[in-house]
């Protein structure tokens, strides 16, 4: 009876599992000649399942490798830069397939505040405007909505104050970048500082005071759509991570999964 149940679990194919074509892309970044006890493809499947379902590491289904093995590989790939490397390569591929150059010329910046859990974690604060105690996910995207950079910081840090650190992570990476669209929260001396320090134009897109109904604003909707994509992944519904670096890695992994979905099955 128990054996039959376990066999049934092992046969289950979750929607978050990698397809064959997606796995062929991922395997290019791994040492496939090394002998391992557990299947690396199943490790990735377990991580993507966790992102989508929002479950705890210890509550991963039995058909995946042991949770501590999955977590070990996750930490190793986070620390050695493999996750970021895969993310960058995927973004370049998606842009190329869309007829774009690898380096965008225009970007969009925005942030959203998310609650943290009772266990807390480092670097938390209260967003007084939205009445949220937690952290901000501060991102820059290209005009396709693909992630260029992410910085997680306390929610009480104003966008205009955190933006310079966020934008500094773009320096030297995208040689065609010349303009960044932002909302009214980035007004003030930041506009001049961005031009002086980085040589980019920070274009502030404001809502009209005369519009009472919701209006989609040019360019700004792109980054807001990216945040809406995050809503499909329960692991990002709150910030469950103790370290902000782990929060940033989780966002990169979600973007990897989203971009993999654009690879033909």
| Domain match, 13 and 72 both | yes
- Tell me whether residue 176 is in a domain: yes
| Domain match, 123 and 221 both | yes
Per-residue model confidence (pLDDT) at position 5: 45
| Domain match, 146 and 193 both | yes
Which residues, at least 6 apart from 31, have a Cβ–Cβ distance to it below 8 Å? none
- Tell me whether residue 96 is in a domain: no
* Counts of helices then strands in the chain (DSSP H, E): 9, 6
Q: How many CB atoms lie within 10 A of CB 18?
A: 19
Examine the fold and report which residue of 45, 79, 113 is the final residue of a domain before the chain moves on: 79
- Tell me whether residue 251 is in a domain: no
- Tell me whether residue 86 is in a domain: no
- Tell me whether residue 154 is in a domain: yes
Per-residue model confidence (pLDDT) at position 37: 83
Per-residue model confidence (pLDDT) at position 207: 67
- Residue 104 Cα distances to 64, 97, 143, angstroms: 38, 14, 8
Per-residue model confidence (pLDDT) at position 210: 52
Per-residue model confidence (pLDDT) at position 219: 79
Per-residue model confidence (pLDDT) at position 211: 54
Tokens of 88: 């960058």
CATH of the domain at 200: 3.30.420
Burial 177-208 (b: 16+ CB within 10 A, else e): beebbbbebbeeebbeebeeebebebbbeeee
Which pTM was predicted? 0.90
| Domain match, 66 and 110 both | no
| Domain match, 150 and 70 both | no
| Domain match, 19 and 122 both | no
Q: What is the pLDDT along the chain (265 residues), one digit of tens a residue?
A: 444 444 445 547 899 999 999 999 999 998 766 777 889 999 999 999 999 999 999 999 999 999 999 999 999 999 999 999 999 999 999 999 999 999 999 999 999 999 998 876 778 999 998 899 999 999 999 999 999 999 999 999 999 999 999 999 999 999 999 999 999 899 999 999 999 999 999 999 886 555 555 455 567 889 999 999 999 999 999 999 999 999 999 999 999 999 999 987 6
Per-residue model confidence (pLDDT) at position 227: 96
| Domain match, 11 and 57 both | yes
Domains: count for the chain = 2
Per-residue model confidence (pLDDT) at position 163: 95
Per-residue model confidence (pLDDT) at position 206: 81
Q: Which domain holds residue 203?
A: 102-241
């Amino acid at each position: 009876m128990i054996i039959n149940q376990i066999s049934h679990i092992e046969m289950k194919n979750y929607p978050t599992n990698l397809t064959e074509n997606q796995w062929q892309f991922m395997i290019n970044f791994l040492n496939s000649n090394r002998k391992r006890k557990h299947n690396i493809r199943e490790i990735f499947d377990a991580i993507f399942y966790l992102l989508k379902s929002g479950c705890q590491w210890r509550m991963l289904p039995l058909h995946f490798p042991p949770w501590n093995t999955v977590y070990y590989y996750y930490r190793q790939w986070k620390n050695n830069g493999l996750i970021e490397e895969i993310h960058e390569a995927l973004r370049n591929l998606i842009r190329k397939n869309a007829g774009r150059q690898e380096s965008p010329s225009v970007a969009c910046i925005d942030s959203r505040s998310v609650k943290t859990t009772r266990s807390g974690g480092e670097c938390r604060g209260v967003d007084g405007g939205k009445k949220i105690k937690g952290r901000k996910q501060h991102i820059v995207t290209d005009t396709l909505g693909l992630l260029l950079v992410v910085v997680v910081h306390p929610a009480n840090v104003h966008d205009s104050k955190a933006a310079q650190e966020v934008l500094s992570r773009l320096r030297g990476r995208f040689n065609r970048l010349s303009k960044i669209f932002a909302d009214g929260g980035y007004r003030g001396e930041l506009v001049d500082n961005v031009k002086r320090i980085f040589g980019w134009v920070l274009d502030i897109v404001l809502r009209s005071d005369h519009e009472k109904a919701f209006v989609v604003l040019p360019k700004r909707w792109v980054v807001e759509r990216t945040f809406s994509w995050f809503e499909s992944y329960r692991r990002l519904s709150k910030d469950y991570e103790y370290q902000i670096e782990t929060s940033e890695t989780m966002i990169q992994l979600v973007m990897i999964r989203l971009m993999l979905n654009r690879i033909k099955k």
